[in-house]
Structure 1
């Protein structure tokens, strides 16, 4: 009986220890392998993806769609799930079950993880397109490992690569005549949705006496918030508790007016740990441990070089935007280089892009004529409101056009450069490291392939016409 009691006590102790770690401690002991760079920030929020200990790929699929579904819809996904639930593709699904994200993207598999978190061999296109060389002579003898690296295809998003687009921009010069980024004016674009009262003065400030510092009030008076009629209480109190003063408003406050910026912020690496529904631990069944949200991202958690001085800085809206002086020029460059310390960032200040930005700030170029960090990595996005009216806002999801970087072609580069120049530049890692100071040593043949395909179609039509005439004769 003693041995049985010992087993019961050991199992009980192990269970309590497991629960203590799972619900309230450091879950890293449970990681079965290094997490991808896209998910490493939330790797301890296991419940976000693994919503149940039971269930197959369907559960994980739901978790993937919850975070990435909207982006795939916006990208007009080239390989949507519906393509693989079509009975006509049943044979292909048997070879590559692309109904599920985890077929191609398996977490915790560092030895086989490639770019974009793909864990399949590079020639996975072969499974469905093995006869492409016969169907398209221009593709004859091409290796299946070149589908993406040649700059022709992305599995999900081809917004800058589809054939009609390539052909329509085939003859563009390297430098366009009109060079300027699309601009966003929050108040102008949302004038029909937001009623703007008169600009406020220092006498209008409604902060309690203990918070009315001269410096803060003076900064606020010259800020966009005061000009738009937003008083101190507009950010420092909540609607459901107007008497409680919020000394340091966070993203919850900001999203009241800046919903699109806040939403895209939590979709990107800077803010993904603040996304609603992400928890380092959940409330346990017997109530021993409390629910604990993930803390804000810090530069120390990044996998690229960062400056040690700001390693522990928690990233939120006010990290880049000063609370009472929203200087966009500071947010566009200085805030970025205050943390980032990689070669690409360091090279920015010796690049043609920075020279243009400096001239824009000095008034030597019109607004939008310069190129800041945000111009490329947080570009202007277009959206329609509930009434169908178009408006623009700055997307704060820097991954939206960065992975894969061909997505940057339409949202950033082609405001100033031709498509061929753009694709070549984005394909040259050395040029990117120099922050595009110089010319690319890589040539992407996407446009040539598109032109070859048009020629193939012309020959096919001509041959078909000749065959029809032969039958008639």
Structure 2
């Protein structure tokens, strides 16, 4: 009997080993290797294992490098309140026995859906208390607070406290909920921005352009009022971007330029896009069958959000929001979003005060700068220096100011509203679901406490 068991055992071992060798080295489907579901932040790239596991036998340092390769810039912009260097200070070494906060995976452990909380945190929600328990003893206002309430909107955030510093709370107290001078700013001059953001010399062939325009009068008419036309980018700039001597009938002519063509001039916008949910698969190396960058569609992902079932096939690339031959930021700001998104918050937009302002702007009753679109909050305009000039561009990472939502307070909400109203509104989940159709039903006391301490 023992002689028979050994060959069976060897055959089973070889079969199992062969199967997993096939999965690792030959199969495109790596689902068998998953040890658990990925978090909401990473589920789109859970099959791109090497996005995080860059080495087969890497440890904590390898995973840390993977985290910072995607999130380092965001933490720097946030003025990270708990950077790694704080915990490498010998004076703080004793805290590492509680939580080794030098590493992202100490708090954000992937593939553990059963214990994953908001923001991908896999620690119990009282993690702040273990290092800061003296606050509850020293501050009268904090004595009766629950241990797990530190991260409530308007109080503390582990990484990003820009809008919640005590001095900032005091300096922005006692303001009316709706500011007299308000408006989503700064203004966007996309024509000038196009000139400054182009990072390659575009070869233009007037003869090819003339022939192509003659064959496509409708596209040419639309193009003439675009930022591309103003910047001198004509047909060959996108359809023959290599600048080679081509004619519109050559096989090298690109009939439908892909994302990589857009990115060749609009790298900052592409970087933002590929960092957010719409484009993060591109950053993970997803390619289409012809080897070009592959845009995703709602049907490709298992999101918790609701999408329009009739539009699940639509791909999320540059041309999804920006029609290739037209200058229409209005469509990109709202209609493009609502083409796919059908969750409660999105569906409530048109009937909300923000949606009414947007409709008034489209009717010409108010200035566009006073209106609020989906993009106003989730893809706001930011001003930065570019080649010595102040350039206003759109943050194309729609997640940048979304999680945690307190990040919207300074750059978005306070363009129109007081700090107190903004904090309360973002802390009210029912108000968020109705797309801010009323005033907040929740009050966060952080400003009250800050004023009391300042007046002592």
TM-score, with structure 1 as normaliser: 0.86
The yes-or-no answer on 1:236 pairing with 2:277 is no
Determine the structure 2 residue equivalent to 1:133: 136
Unaligned runs of 5+ in 1: 281-289, 459-473
Give the drift of 1:361.
1.7
Q: 1:253 to 1:137 in 2, by over 3 A?
A: same
Determine the structure 2 residue equivalent to 1:284: none
SS in 1 for 2:368: coil
How far apart in 2 are the matches of 1:360 and 1:442? 30
How far apart in 1 are the matches of 2:28 and 2:270? 29
Spell out, residue by residue over 1:200-233, the C-alpha distance to the aligned partner (whole angstroms, 9 max, x if none): 9xx9771765993332222222333223211111
**Mapping of 1:161-310 within 5 angstroms?**
161-182=164-185, 183-189=187-193, 206=209, 212-239=215-242, 243=246, 244-275=252-283, 277-278=284-285, 295-300=294-299, 301=301, 302-310=303-311
The yes-or-no answer on 1:147 pairing with 2:156 is no
Determine the structure 1 residue equivalent to 2:331: 330
Q: 1:204 to 1:303 in 2, by over 3 A?
A: farther
Give the drift of 1:341.
0.4
Q: 1:245 to 1:74 in 2, by over 3 A?
A: same
Give the drift of 1:371.
0.6
SS in 2 for 1:234: helix
Deviant stretches of 4+, over 4 Å: 1-13, 189-195, 207-211, 290-295
Q: Is the 8 A contact 1:205 1:231 kept in 2?
A: no
Determine the structure 2 residue equivalent to 1:27: 30
Determine the structure 2 residue equivalent to 1:366: 367
Spell out, residue by residue over 1:171-213, the C-alpha distance to the aligned partner (whole angstroms, 9 max, x if none): 2111111121012213335666769x9xx9xx97717659933
Q: Is the 8 A contact 1:207 1:233 kept in 2?
A: no
Q: 1:317 to 1:7 in 2, by over 3 A?
A: same
Give the drift of 1:351.
0.8
User: Which has the larger displacement, 160-169 or 263-272?
Assistant: 160-169
**Mapping of 1:307-456 within 5 angstroms?**
307-385=308-386, 387=388, 389-455=389-455
Unaligned runs of 5+ in 2: 247-251
Give the drift of 1:134.
3.2
How far apart in 1 are the matches of 2:358 and 2:197? 32
Spell out, residue by residue over 1:263-284, the C-alpha distance to the aligned partner (whole angstroms, 9 max, x if none): 1000100111111x5359xxxx
Give the drift of 1:296.
2.5
Count of matched residue positions in the alignment of Structure 1 and Structure 2: 440
Q: Is the 8 A contact 1:423 1:444 kept in 2?
A: yes
Q: 1:418 to 1:213 in 2, by over 3 A?
A: same
Q: 1:192 to 1:378 in 2, by over 3 A?
A: closer
Give the drift of 1:150.
5.2
Give the drift of 1:130.
1.4
Q: Is the 8 A contact 1:190 1:391 kept in 2?
A: no
